[in-house]
Amino acid sequence: MTKARKGSNVKVHYVGTLNDGSEFDNSYKLGNTLNFKVGDGQLLKKFDESVKGMSVGDKKKVTLTPEEAYGNPNPQAIQNVPKDAFGGDLEKLQVGARVNGQTQEGQPLVAKIQSINESEVTLDLNHPLAGESLNFEIELVDVVKKK
């Protein structure tokens, strides 16, 4: 039976949960496997490495600490933005909501609204899973043979 190793192109299904049991991602529900090359650096390192040595049909549980996942929240990622930066959508702004935008350099960003006052909106630009331990149940569905 073929085992996944560094350089293998694999297809996995996974369910991702937080320590409180809430689910943050589920490839089964999305209806698509996650396809990647083991060791290519595109995924969280511990997730990627946990697939090595698995055979098709194997399931494995792995937990990533915040440091192995998206890190701990960075206080410098909390920023105040003038309300007028949001254009005419001010009535849609709500504490806890996620907003999409761009940096001054044109890079996309996603932020969570932390607070709103008369002149500013406080945004948390940390990754939504920063500070969280991530639990994954991974199933190796296929090791793709090179043609």
The pLDDT score that the predictor gives to residue 147 is 57
| DSSP letter string, 69-86 | TT-SPPGGGEEEEEGGGG
The pLDDT score that the predictor gives to residue 132 is 97
Mean pLDDT for 122-146 is 94
pLDDT band at 107 (very low <50, low <70, confident <90, very high): confident
pLDDT tens digits along 19-40: 999 999 999 999 999 999 999 9
Structure token pair of residue 141: 């569905």
Q: Which domains does the chain have, with CATH numbers?
A: 9-70+129-144 (3.10.50.40), 75-124 (2.40.10.330)
Structure token pair of residue 127: 């990754």
Side chain identity at residue 90, one-letter code: L
The pLDDT score that the predictor gives to residue 89 is 66
pLDDT tens digits along 61-93: 999 999 999 999 999 999 999 988 887 766 778
